[in-house]
Each structure stands twice: as structure tokens, then as C-alpha cells.
Amino acid sequence: MTHYLLDTNIISHVTKPAPSAKLSAWMAGQVDEDLFIASLTVAEIRRGLLEKPAGKKRRALERWFAGPEGPQALFAGRILPFDEAAGLVWARLMAEGTAIGRPRNALDTIIAAVAEANNCVVVTDNEKDFAGVKIVNPLRTAT
């Protein structure tokens, strides 16, 4: 069985009023227990909410975030931390990127490190920043 770590951009796509048909089909074909998010994803979503101007849209997003369809509720027990093991993987991935002249984005690399430390495949449409990491991009292909 394969475990998947959903990148923050995948969560954003899924919550759109009209998400990608390919992504919806891929998600429908997965078992919830095989889908995880990183604690960083919760933080990135919360930061995005806090940076939105006050108003109707922000209030609606805050209700979603705190409610039963929000990431903490939907992924209860399946939110993976950036712990010591992931930290060591992160250091290696960052150093490898620097060594080949392609510095990595620190936040994306945290997600990659959490995935590798927990034997997960990253689900993302950000293939460039996850080069060299096991990924699946359901927005590109339906496999």
C-alpha cells in the first residue's frame, strides 16, 4: 500500500469551488487512511487565512478551516510532523540542491523531507520544486 503526502497546493485545489476533474478522480480513487498532510500544510493554510483582508471570504475560509471539513478535522491522526528524522532528510535534500547549483525552496523541501521520513509519495502539481523526490501529479495525469 502506498501512502501519499498531499502538498499544500493540492489541498488548495481540492477546496476550490470547481476543482480539477483529474484531481477529483484521483482523490476519489484513494483510501482516506493512505492520505496524509504535513504539519507545515496546516501552518501554510492558516498563514494564508491570516494574511487575507477581513471580510466575508476570510470569514468563510476561517469557518472551513476550523470546521469538520477543515484540514485538522479531515486529517485527524494523519498530520505528519517535521521531526528529527524529517529534519535530517531536509538537511540532506537542501545540501544536495546546493551542491548541484539548484538551491531548493526551504518550505517545499520540508514537505519533501516529511514525506521521505514517513515513506510517502508527495502529491503535488509543483514538479519543479520537488525534482528528485517521489511524486505523483494527478493534475497532469489521471494515474
* Residue 123: predicted pLDDT: 97
When pLDDT is cut at 50, 70 and 90, the band that residue 22 belongs to is very high
Q: What are the angstrom distances between the C-alpha of 79 and each of 58, 125, 139?
A: 24, 20, 23
Residues 6+ apart with CB under 8 A from 102: 131
| Mean pLDDT in residue range 16-20 | 86
φ, ψ of residue 40 to 5 degrees: the values are -60, -35
Let me know: does 33 contact 78? Beta carbons within 8 Å.
yes
Query: Using CA atoms, how far apart are residues 121 and 20, in angstroms rounded to an integer?
Result: 20
Percent of the chain predicted with pLDDT > 70? 98
* Residue 143: predicted pLDDT: 46
Q: Quick: pLDDT tens for 43-98.
A: 999 999 999 999 999 999 999 999 999 999 999 999 999 999 999 999 999 999 99
Query: Of the given ranges (1-10, 16-25, 81-90, 103-112), which has the lowest mean pLDDT?
Result: 16-25
Residues 6+ apart with CB under 8 A from 75: 35, 36, 37
Q: Does the pLDDT at position 142 exceed 80?
A: no
Let me know: does 41 contact 77? Beta carbons within 8 Å.
no
Report which DSSP code applies to 11.
H
* Residue 29: predicted pLDDT: 95
3-state helix, strand, coil in the chain (%, to 5): 55, 10, 35
Residues 6+ apart with CB under 8 A from 81: 38, 39, 114
* Residue 141: predicted pLDDT: 66
Query: Using CA atoms, how far apart are residues 129 and 26, in angstroms rounded to an integer?
Result: 21
* Residue 18: predicted pLDDT: 87
